[in-house]
Amino acid sequence: MSSATALPPRGMLRIATDATLDKLLSGRGIWPAVPAIVVLAAVAVIPFGILLSLGFSDIAVERGAIISQTFTLDYVRTALADPLTFTVFQRSMVLALSTMLLCLFFGYPVAYLFLIGGPWVRRLILVLTIAPLLTSGIVRTYAWLVILGGRGLVNNTLIEIGLIERPLRIINTHWAVLIGMAQIHLPVMILPLIAVMSRHDRRLDEASANLGASRLGTLVNVILPLSVPGIGTGAALVFTISYTTFVVPQLLGGGNYLNAATMIYEQVVYSLEWSKGSVSSMILMATCLVVLVFIALITNHFTRWTKGREA
């Protein structure tokens, strides 16, 4: 192929500094990630270290700034000896674990419907699952105030059909918190389950049916074991946010309902007991981690088939 205008030689337009820029932008070295690493270190890693140190110190706070800090184990000792600490964390733990189980109970059938459903069913499930995640948590909690409130949907309906005469007190109870939490965190359980289901090989179900299994048999013996990774991810996510959430217990539990997060909020923002708050935060993280490790161990046990051939 000859032409009137000759081809310019390769690389003519490159400027001198371009080479350095090229090296930086090729993504082969660590440099492009350095800003993120610095920011994460400054705004996450170092603060976590400081949080840890505050739990072991006596501090003086003046106008929102820490002016002195001395080492002490008092706060850790007090917190661990305080029966309130135990009650609050136990309550949070029970609440988070039961939310997790409720979400699994309602979420897994949705994932199964996603698996056997056609493209329109799948699209509907995706929209209904993702839309709430894009809506504010406060808005979704507020909805439950409307439904469960004294003059809300449930009470009005019950009075209407004559089951009760005076409104039931549903809001500001443990049950209101559990119901609201389970509904609000349901999408978080469904998403990882759907991810597993969309990768599920439906020929396995056909093979199972061909070998004589009923639909329930296939669900229990083929689909369920293969979806354990999704269950593990979903359970871990729902547990973490339920265990550490602030909005739902604050709004649906009423002023006296304390869970770990609302307790930390009161300690830090209202009573300005920062060392206490630090200790509570550390207990929160530590206990959360224990449960997550436990969930990971169970998941691993049931997903031994994913491990490669042993040498």
Backbone angles phi, psi at 9, to 5 degrees: -65, 160
* Cα(285)–Cα(259) distance, integer angstroms: 14
- H/E stretch holding 68 reads strand 65-71
Judged by CB under 8 A, the stretch of 1-9, 80-88, 93-101, 170-178 that binds other proteins is 1-9
Q: How far is the CB of 297 from other proteins (least distance, A)?
A: 17
Q: Which of 77, 84, 105, 169 binds other proteins (CB under 8 A)?
A: 105
Structure tokens at 190: 């469904």
Structure tokens at 136: 């504010």
Binders in 71-100 for other proteins, by CB under 8 A: none
Instruction: Return the SS3 of 174.
Output: helix
Which one, 79 or 194, has the nearer CB to other proteins? 194
Q: How far is the CB of 264 from other proteins (least distance, A)?
A: 6
Among 161, 227, 233, which Cα is nearest to 196's? 227
Binders in 183-242 for other proteins, by CB under 8 A: 183, 186-187, 191-192, 194-195, 198, 212, 214-217, 219, 240-241
Site size toward other proteins (CB under 8 A) is: 116
CA–centroid distance for 74 within its chain: 32
Q: Which of 76, 101, 113, 159 binds other proteins (CB under 8 A)?
A: 113
* In contact, 252 and 218? CB cutoff 8 Å: no
Question: Does residue 36 interact with other proteins by CB under 8 A?
Answer: yes
Judged by CB under 8 A, the stretch of 49-57, 83-91, 200-208, 294-302 that binds other proteins is 49-57
Q: Which of 22, 58, 82, 206 binds other proteins (CB under 8 A)?
A: 22
* In contact, 155 and 169? CB cutoff 8 Å: no
Q: How far is the CB of 82 from other proteins (least distance, A)?
A: 19
* Cα(310)–Cα(301) distance, integer angstroms: 16
Q: How far is the CB of 74 from other proteins (least distance, A)?
A: 18
Q: How far is the CB of 238 from other proteins (least distance, A)?
A: 13
* Cα(59)–Cα(69) distance, integer angstroms: 4
Q: Which of 9, 83, 118, 308 binds other proteins (CB under 8 A)?
A: 9
Terminal CA-to-CA distance of the chain, rounded, Å?
57
Which one, 113 or 298, has the nearer CB to other proteins? 113
Binders in 124-183 for other proteins, by CB under 8 A: 124-147, 149, 151-153, 156, 183
Burial class (CB in 10 A: 0-12, 13-18, 19+), 304: exposed
Structure tokens at 153: 């949907």
Question: Does residue 26 interact with other proteins by CB under 8 A?
Answer: yes
Binders in 287-306 for other proteins, by CB under 8 A: 288
* Cα(293)–Cα(191) distance, integer angstroms: 21
Pairing of strands 65-71, 57-62: antiparallel
Which one, 87 or 198, has the nearer CB to other proteins? 198
Q: How far is the CB of 16 from other proteins (least distance, A)?
A: 12
* Cα(232)–Cα(300) distance, integer angstroms: 9
Binders in 258-287 for other proteins, by CB under 8 A: 261, 264-265, 268-269, 274, 277-278, 281, 284-285
CB atoms within 10 A of CB 54: 21
Q: Which of 235, 245, 257, 276 binds other proteins (CB under 8 A)?
A: 245
Question: Does residue 65 interact with other proteins by CB under 8 A?
Answer: yes
